[in-house]
Structures are given as C-alpha cells and as structure tokens.
Structure 1
C-alpha cells in the first residue's frame, strides 16, 4: 500500500475515533454532571472548549484525508453508483451535520448567557465562562444539540463499520 494512503487512513481513523468519542463522552458524562451541578464553571468550560477544539481540528483533518482517499480510490461512477460510494457520501453528510450541531450547541450556550459574539470572535475565542455562570442552565441549552450529535456519531460509526466490512 502507498505510504501516503496508509498515513491518511491512520490520521482519518484516529481523528474520527477521537472526535466521535468526545461527542459521546460529552453526552454521557459532561452534560449530565453539569446539569446536576457537579461541575464548576471552569471545569464545564474546559470540557466544552476541549470538545470544540477537537471538533475544529478534526474539521480540517477529516475532510483533507477523506478527500485524498476519494481522489485515489473513488471514481465518480463508484462514488455515486455503489453501496460503498453511498456509505462514503453518507459518512460525509453525517460528519458535516455532527460538526455543525456541536458548533451550534456551543454557540447557543454563548448566546444564552448574553454573549452573542460575531462568527470571527466566536471561532477565535472558543468557550469560556466566568465563575458565576449557571452551569446547569447552560448544559440544558447545549443538551439537545449534543444529543443529536451523539446520535449522528453512532450512525457515523455504524456507517464506518459497514464500509470497513466491505458492504
């Protein structure tokens, strides 16, 4: 196998695993703990900002490595006319929606506390909270977006398993 293709697979799979795992962990552990009042504003902000940063760097790594793999392995007839091609297209759609939901959830949390940054400021600054932030209320705002992201992450993993299994 071409070493560049092998490296693209490694970067792609590790990035996807880290990202889907981060979203699933946020829904399983971070949001419930925040809703229960068990996380300080600083701990919640670190957790959410960490997920946001993973979403953003995988938002670069996954499309680049995926595009490279498409370029080498999928002609247009294979991409649009085979089950494997449809799974790849589905993966790209799920990834795009999942990425958007995480970003939107965090942005809505910013808005709910009276902070409506412009898009540029939002992307530069990340997610921060003051010590007096109402963490349970913020978690309630982000919960539906993160839950929907977790559902898409699960579908993304099923899609990847089918693709890896040669369906």
Structure 2
C-alpha cells in the first residue's frame, strides 16, 4: 500500500467516523433535550449549523477519498460483478442517503428557529435523524464486511 493510499484510507475513515458520530450524537443526546425544551433556539441553531457543515465537508471528503480508493482497487467489472464491488456501490448509495437525510432533518430543525421554536422542530426532525443514524450503522456494517473479504456471505 502506498503512502497516498494509506492517507486516503485514513481520511476516509476519519471523516466517516466524524460524520456518523455527529449524526448519532445529535439524534441520541441533543434532540431528546430539544424536544423536552432544555435548549433555546440559539444553541440548537449553532449545533445544527455545525452538523450541516460537517455533513457537507464529510460528503466531499468521502467522495474524493472513496473515489480514489475505489479507482485503485477496483475495475468497472469488479465493481459491478463481485461481492466486494457490490458492497462499495452499496456504501456509495448509503452515503448519498445519509447526506440527504441530514439535510432534510436539518431543514426541519432550522425551520422553527426564526420563531424561536425548538420543541416542535425537534419532533419533526427526529424521524430524519433516526433514519440517518440507522444508515450510519449500516454503513459501518458494510465497511466491516468490506474490510474482511472472507466474511462476505455471498
């Protein structure tokens, strides 16, 4: 493995952990408090804005680093005709889904900030962030299977 490949792998894993961890943290720790009214709109607006930036930057970093890794490890035939290739394509689809869910959930949260509302926007955003957290778990399961090719059941 070259230094460039190792760097891309580290970047990919680092941003994946940051992104999914941030989404899960918001889902598990922040949203329940917001639904209970423990936050004003201002702190929740800051958290949501930072999550949006983490999500967008991570999506770009993962697309670039993952594209490099896929380009050096797979051909078109192996991506579309092998179990590891299917896992890579599944991962790509899940990353797009994660980005979409975070954007939609964030828009639900931000919608109430102008009126200084927190509880209702947090309730409305919850299903999106629960789904995004589930997608994050699925991504890590996919990555785990991909990291041990002998464990791929198909």
TM-score for both structures, normalised by structure 1: 0.85
Equivalenced residue count is 150
- With CA pairs under 8 Å and 6+ residues apart, which has the higher RCO, 1 or 2? 1
Q: CA deviation at 1:104?
A: 1.3
CA distance in 2, matches of 1:56, 1:134: 25
Secondary structure, aligned partner of 1:104: helix
1:126 equivalent in structure 2: none
2:139 equivalent in structure 1: 156
- 1:13 is the counterpart of 2:38: no
CA distance in 2, matches of 1:89, 1:101: 18
CA distance in 2, matches of 1:105, 1:74: 34
- The gaps in structure 1 that reach 5 residues or longer are 114-128
Q: CA deviation at 1:161?
A: 0.8
1:80 equivalent in structure 2: 80
RMSD between superposed Cα atoms in Å: 1.3
Contact 2:15 2:61 in 1 (8 A): yes
- The gaps in structure 2 that reach 5 residues or longer are none
TM-score for both structures, normalised by structure 2: 0.92
Q: CA deviation at 1:48?
A: 1.1
- 1:45 is the counterpart of 2:45: yes
Deviations 1:114-136 (A, max 9, x none): xxxxxxxxxxxxxxx45x61111
Following superposition of structure 1 onto structure 2, how do residues 78-157 of structure 1 map, counting pairs within 5 Å? 78-110=78-110, 112-113=111-112, 129=113, 133-157=116-140
